[in-house]
Amino acid sequence: MNSDWLFNFPFKIPVNTGAIDKYVRDFSVKYDIFFGSIRNFLISFVNIIHSILSFIPWIITILAVVYITWRISKKISKGILYGALLFFIGTLGLWDLMNETLAIVLASVAMSLVLGFPLGILISTSDKADKIVRPILDTMQTMPVFVYLIPALLFFGLGKPPAVIATTIYAIVPIIRLTNHGIRQIDEEIVEASIAFGSTKFQSLVKVQIPQALPTIMTGVNQTLMMAMAMVVTTSMIGATGLGMEVLISVNRVEIGRGLVSGTAVVIIAVILDRITQGLVKNGEVNSH
């Protein structure tokens, strides 16, 4: 008996990937003005952040990190350690590249917060919206990042704008999720109290719900920042310059030393950003519980 069909699928649905390519390409051409203006906006946004970062003398940046860490962790030793690590990046000759990378990361985080925070609030107030958005968020988080590098590249060309877009799509998820979660988990009696005293919905949101959810929201900010940092190397593939590009080049040329140096710099920046924002989360919790 012929049992081939058990091991081979009897049907095949022919997916015309070429047609999809063509459609997307046509789409990008047709709406070029739209994408072009977003592109220009993102370029100037990233450039502004970059020039601010470059304008600050390195010594001031380091001292600021020392001071902020000291304030947040209440330990001067931690502040000095982070300052020394930053100084180390500078001595490796990576200071400018670091600023370039930070500009893209911060721009992406800013975009994520501006879009994600209101969206998180929106879906916290409506179960229906929550149900609709949840699978979309799951998709955004699990879809391999390379898949949306391609359309980002198509719509926005090479360089920083598609990097910011791709990073935003990837990093916006935690801020949406945790804003939603933070607001939903507030003790119902507290929200009721604010309503019982005659607050409008807006007053209740701004004066009670958001402040009460702030520690959770701050955790979301921290996570968004970390995920944006994780995209640094990936987005260098579509032409985002900075430390990620250094890593990519050293991979292509099998330059282990160069890769190690720039990789270390990425890790240092990530650790410092993480500790500082986590410190902010903890301080928020101390104040509110």
Q: Specify the residue, 30 or 207, whose C-beta has the smaller distance to another protein.
A: 207
Nearer to another protein, 44 or 200 (CB): 200
**Residue 194 lies near another protein (rule: CB under 8 A):** yes
In sequence order, what are the residues at sequence separation of 6 or more whose Cβ sits closer than 8 angstroms to the Cβ of residue 181?
124, 216
Note the residue count of the chain. 289
Cα–Cα distance, 228 to 113 (Å, whole number): 12
Binding to another protein by CB under 8 A, coded x per residue (else -) over 270-289, reads -----------------xxx
- The CA distance from 73 to 116, in Å, is 28
Nearer to another protein, 36 or 284 (CB): 284
Rounded to whole angstroms, the Cα distance separating 134 from 142 reads 12
Choice from 140, 195, 237, 270 touching another protein (CB under 8 A): 195
Please report whether residue 190 would count as binding another protein according to CB under 8 A.
Answer: yes
In whole angstroms, the minimum distance from the beta carbon of 74 to another protein comes to 18
Interacting residues of 42 by C-beta distance below 8 A, sequence separation 6+ = 107, 156, 160, 161, 164, 165
**Count of positions on this chain that bind another protein (CB under 8 A):** 21
Tokens of residue 182, six digits: 């933070």
- Shortest Cβ distance from residue 275 to another protein (Å)? 24
Binders of another protein among residues 197 to 216 (CB under 8 A) are: 197-200, 203, 207-208, 211-212, 214
Question: Shortest approach of another protein to residue 85 CB, angstroms?
Answer: 33
Shortest Å distance, C-beta 216 to another protein:
12
CB 242 within 8 A of CB 97: yes
